[in-house]
Amino acid sequence: MSIKDVFSLSDGAEVTIRGGWVYRKRELKDKIFLVIRDGSGIIQTVISKSDPNVAGIASKLNIESSLVLTGTVKREPRAPGGAEIHVRSIDWYYVGDAFPINEDAAKADSEYLLDVRHLWVRSRRMWAVLRVRHTVFGAIHEFFRSRGGYYEVQGPMFVSAAVEGGATLFPVKYFDREDVYLTQSSQFYLEVLIYALEKVYTVAPSFS
């Protein structure tokens, strides 16, 4: 079951989260709070230290460790989304290495975040950005396709010449050629494709 679906369950329902990752961890005297994430969202889970087996596993887990857990749903206004899972068992887990991105790095060092981009995309901020992009691109495609006769096309990313008025070129090595650049516009290719498909559009990066 995805985390998003848990919030629609009634209080006391039993649930199993498979393939979640630890997003945040907080350990108190008698409890351990694990915020678990998957592609649909996050949910807070509560592990009582009165169960030494489950608490012992939870204590080992680092940020981004993965696990399968089973527990009961409880409404809790203070928890993210208004519900949490009281964990009865951790059925499988993998303890990952210490996560290299902490709160200070996320605020202070954008160059470092670029170096660990594959990890930074797991953050809530990037999660939200990617979902917004998904919605925007979906709306663009829906706009054109609902009007009939439009075709989405793609031009090349490597080109051999600048566009009209192109001031900055970014050369790249491409096999044995030295005169290849990152594209600055899809204009030339759209103009050519008009005569094949008439109504065309593209959503693509440009470098200028």
52 φ, ψ (degrees, to nearest 5): -65, -30
Same domain? For 34 and 62 the reply is yes
Q: Tell me how far apart the alpha carbons of residues 91 and 18 are, in angstroms, rounded to a whole number.
A: 9
Same domain? For 194 and 179 the reply is yes
Among candidate residues 65, 94, 123, the one where a domain is terminated: 94
pLDDT mean over 128-151: 94
Same domain? For 8 and 74 the reply is yes
Q: Tell me how far apart the alpha carbons of residues 152 and 161 are, in angstroms, rounded to a whole number.
A: 23
Q: Tell me how far apart the alpha carbons of residues 96 and 89 are, in angstroms, rounded to a whole number.
A: 19
DSSP-derived letter for residue 81 is G
Measured over the CA atoms of residue 115, residue 116, residue 120 and residue 121, the dihedral's sign is: positive
Range of the structural domain that residue 8 is part of: 3-94
Q: What domain count does the chain have? A: 3
H and E: helices and strands count for the chain: 7, 10
Per-residue confidence (pLDDT) for residue 172, from 0 to 100: 85
pLDDT digit string (tens) for 164-179? 665 678 888 888 777 7
Same domain? For 84 and 7 the reply is yes
**Residue 20 sits in a domain of what CATH number?**
2.40.50.140
Residues 53 and 4: beta-carbon distance below 8 Å: no
Q: Tell me how far apart the alpha carbons of residues 190 and 198 are, in angstroms, rounded to a whole number.
A: 9
pLDDT mean over 30-51: 96
Q: Around Cβ 147, how many Cβ atoms within 10 Å?
A: 9
DSSP lists the bridge partners of residue 35 as: 24, 44
Same domain? For 154 and 139 the reply is no
Task: Give the pLDDT band (50/70/90) at residue 67.
Answer: very high
pTM recorded for the entire structure:
0.77
37 φ, ψ (degrees, to nearest 5): -125, 155
